[in-house]
Structure 1
Protein backbone atom coordinates (compact mmCIF):
# COMPACT_ATOMS: atom_id res chain seq x y z
CA UNK A 1 0.00 0.00 0.00
CA UNK A 2 1.31 3.47 -0.86
CA UNK A 3 1.11 6.45 1.47
CA UNK A 4 1.44 10.14 0.70
CA UNK A 5 2.09 11.29 4.25
CA UNK A 6 3.58 9.74 7.36
CA UNK A 7 2.60 11.42 10.63
CA UNK A 8 5.33 11.19 13.26
CA UNK A 9 5.59 12.33 16.84
CA UNK A 10 7.63 15.46 17.52
CA UNK A 11 7.48 14.79 21.29
CA UNK A 12 8.41 12.39 24.05
CA UNK A 13 5.24 11.52 25.93
CA UNK A 14 2.07 9.46 25.99
CA UNK A 15 -0.88 9.33 23.56
CA UNK A 16 -3.73 10.95 25.46
CA UNK A 17 -6.38 10.98 22.69
CA UNK A 18 -6.86 9.97 19.06
CA UNK A 19 -9.79 11.98 17.65
CA UNK A 20 -9.54 10.29 14.22
CA UNK A 21 -10.33 6.77 13.03
CA UNK A 22 -8.87 4.55 10.33
CA UNK A 23 -10.43 5.17 6.91
CA UNK A 24 -11.88 8.53 8.03
CA UNK A 25 -11.51 11.74 6.02
CA UNK A 26 -9.50 14.53 7.61
CA UNK A 27 -9.15 18.22 6.77
CA UNK A 28 -6.12 20.50 6.95
CA UNK A 29 -5.00 21.24 10.52
CA UNK A 30 -7.62 18.92 12.02
CA UNK A 31 -6.36 17.50 15.36
CA UNK A 32 -5.04 13.98 14.73
CA UNK A 33 -3.44 13.12 18.07
CA UNK A 34 -3.15 14.65 21.53
CA UNK A 35 0.15 13.81 23.23
CA UNK A 36 0.82 14.50 26.89
CA UNK A 37 4.46 15.60 26.98
CA UNK A 38 6.90 14.59 29.70
CA UNK A 39 6.31 18.05 31.19
CA UNK A 40 2.58 17.28 31.45
CA UNK A 41 1.47 19.61 28.64
CA UNK A 42 -1.14 18.44 26.12
CA UNK A 43 0.27 18.87 22.60
CA UNK A 44 -2.01 18.64 19.55
CA UNK A 45 -0.62 17.00 16.40
CA UNK A 46 -2.11 18.31 13.13
CA UNK A 47 -0.80 18.62 9.56
CA UNK A 48 -1.55 20.86 6.62
CA UNK A 49 -3.12 18.32 4.29
CA UNK A 50 -6.57 16.84 3.78
CA UNK A 51 -7.12 13.21 2.91
CA UNK A 52 -7.95 9.76 4.25
CA UNK A 53 -6.46 7.97 7.24
CA UNK A 54 -4.91 4.74 5.91
CA UNK A 55 -3.74 3.37 9.28
CA UNK A 56 -3.18 4.41 12.88
CA UNK A 57 -0.05 2.89 14.37
CA UNK A 58 -0.56 3.78 18.07
CA UNK A 59 -3.26 3.51 20.71
CA UNK A 60 -4.29 5.74 23.61
CA UNK A 61 -1.83 5.26 26.46
CA UNK A 62 1.12 4.32 24.22
CA UNK A 63 4.47 5.92 24.99
CA UNK A 64 5.92 7.83 22.02
CA UNK A 65 9.28 9.33 21.14
CA UNK A 66 10.26 11.91 18.51
CA UNK A 67 10.20 10.38 15.03
CA UNK A 68 7.89 7.50 15.97
CA UNK A 69 5.24 6.82 13.29
CA UNK A 70 1.72 7.64 14.50
CA UNK A 71 -0.30 7.25 11.29
CA UNK A 72 -0.19 6.91 7.51
CA UNK A 73 -2.40 9.17 5.38
CA UNK A 74 -3.40 9.28 1.72
CA UNK A 75 -3.49 12.92 0.58
CA UNK A 76 -6.66 14.00 -1.20
CA UNK A 77 -6.03 14.96 -4.82
CA UNK A 78 -9.25 17.02 -4.90
CA UNK A 79 -9.25 20.32 -3.06
CA UNK A 80 -11.98 20.35 -0.45
CA UNK A 81 -14.24 23.35 -0.88
CA UNK A 82 -12.89 24.25 -4.32
CA UNK A 83 -15.35 25.51 -6.92
Structure 2
Protein backbone atom coordinates (compact mmCIF):
# COMPACT_ATOMS: atom_id res chain seq x y z
CA UNK A 1 0.00 0.00 0.00
CA UNK A 2 1.17 3.48 -0.88
CA UNK A 3 0.51 6.19 1.72
CA UNK A 4 -0.16 9.61 0.16
CA UNK A 5 -0.24 12.65 2.46
CA UNK A 6 -1.70 15.42 0.34
CA UNK A 7 -1.57 19.17 0.50
CA UNK A 8 -5.05 20.66 0.24
CA UNK A 9 -6.08 23.52 -2.03
CA UNK A 10 -7.60 26.52 -0.28
CA UNK A 11 -10.73 27.94 -1.94
CA UNK A 12 -13.20 30.40 -0.36
CA UNK A 13 -11.97 29.67 3.21
CA UNK A 14 -12.37 25.91 2.65
CA UNK A 15 -9.77 23.20 2.08
CA UNK A 16 -10.30 21.00 -0.98
CA UNK A 17 -8.92 17.46 -1.02
CA UNK A 18 -8.08 16.49 -4.60
CA UNK A 19 -7.26 13.12 -6.10
CA UNK A 20 -3.60 12.40 -6.91
CA UNK A 21 -4.13 9.61 -9.49
CA UNK A 22 -6.45 7.68 -11.80
CA UNK A 23 -8.34 4.86 -10.10
CA UNK A 24 -11.41 3.61 -8.26
CA UNK A 25 -12.54 4.44 -4.71
CA UNK A 26 -12.18 1.22 -2.67
CA UNK A 27 -13.04 2.54 0.79
CA UNK A 28 -14.29 5.76 2.40
CA UNK A 29 -13.07 5.87 6.01
CA UNK A 30 -14.56 9.22 7.09
CA UNK A 31 -17.99 10.86 6.90
CA UNK A 32 -19.16 14.50 6.82
CA UNK A 33 -18.99 16.06 10.28
CA UNK A 34 -15.98 13.97 11.34
CA UNK A 35 -13.02 15.76 12.92
CA UNK A 36 -9.93 15.00 10.80
CA UNK A 37 -6.42 14.96 12.27
CA UNK A 38 -3.25 15.48 10.29
CA UNK A 39 -2.14 12.19 8.70
CA UNK A 40 -5.41 10.36 9.45
CA UNK A 41 -6.45 7.94 6.65
CA UNK A 42 -9.46 9.24 4.71
CA UNK A 43 -9.85 7.08 1.59
CA UNK A 44 -8.40 4.07 -0.18
CA UNK A 45 -8.03 4.31 -3.95
CA UNK A 46 -7.08 1.41 -6.20
CA UNK A 47 -5.00 2.87 -9.01
CA UNK A 48 -5.17 1.81 -12.64
CA UNK A 49 -1.86 -0.03 -12.05
CA UNK A 50 -3.54 -2.11 -9.32
CA UNK A 51 -1.83 -0.65 -6.25
CA UNK A 52 -3.75 0.71 -3.24
CA UNK A 53 -3.22 4.32 -2.20
CA UNK A 54 -4.18 5.45 1.30
CA UNK A 55 -5.12 9.13 1.13
CA UNK A 56 -4.62 11.50 4.07
CA UNK A 57 -4.06 15.25 4.39
CA UNK A 58 -1.49 17.35 6.18
CA UNK A 59 -3.99 19.54 8.05
CA UNK A 60 -6.53 19.25 10.88
CA UNK A 61 -10.16 20.26 10.45
CA UNK A 62 -13.75 19.11 10.02
CA UNK A 63 -14.92 17.19 6.96
CA UNK A 64 -17.84 19.12 5.48
CA UNK A 65 -18.60 17.37 2.20
CA UNK A 66 -17.81 14.11 0.43
CA UNK A 67 -17.93 14.13 -3.36
CA UNK A 68 -17.23 10.40 -3.76
CA UNK A 69 -18.52 6.99 -2.75
CA UNK A 70 -17.19 3.43 -3.01
CA UNK A 71 -16.87 2.34 -6.63
CA UNK A 72 -16.53 5.84 -8.11
CA UNK A 73 -13.91 6.34 -10.81
CA UNK A 74 -11.53 9.19 -9.96
CA UNK A 75 -8.82 11.10 -11.82
CA UNK A 76 -6.04 13.54 -10.90
CA UNK A 77 -7.31 16.90 -9.70
CA UNK A 78 -10.85 15.70 -9.00
CA UNK A 79 -12.22 17.11 -5.70
CA UNK A 80 -12.81 14.18 -3.33
CA UNK A 81 -13.95 16.15 -0.27
CA UNK A 82 -14.06 19.56 1.40
CA UNK A 83 -12.85 20.49 4.89
CA UNK A 84 -13.12 23.58 7.03
What's the TM-score bracket when you normalise by the shorter of the two chains? 0.7 to 0.9
Structure 1 residue runs of 4 or more that deviate by more than 2 Å after TM superposition: none
Number of corresponding residues:
73
CA distance in 1, matches of 2:28, 2:34: 12
CA distance in 1, matches of 2:81, 2:13: 10
Selected match of 2:34 from 11, 20, 24: 24
Deviation of 1:4 (Å)? 2.4
TM-score normalised according to structure 1 size: 0.84
- 1:49 aligns with 59
Segments of 5+ residues of structure 1 without an aligned counterpart are 75-83
Whichever of the two has the greater Rg, that structure is 1
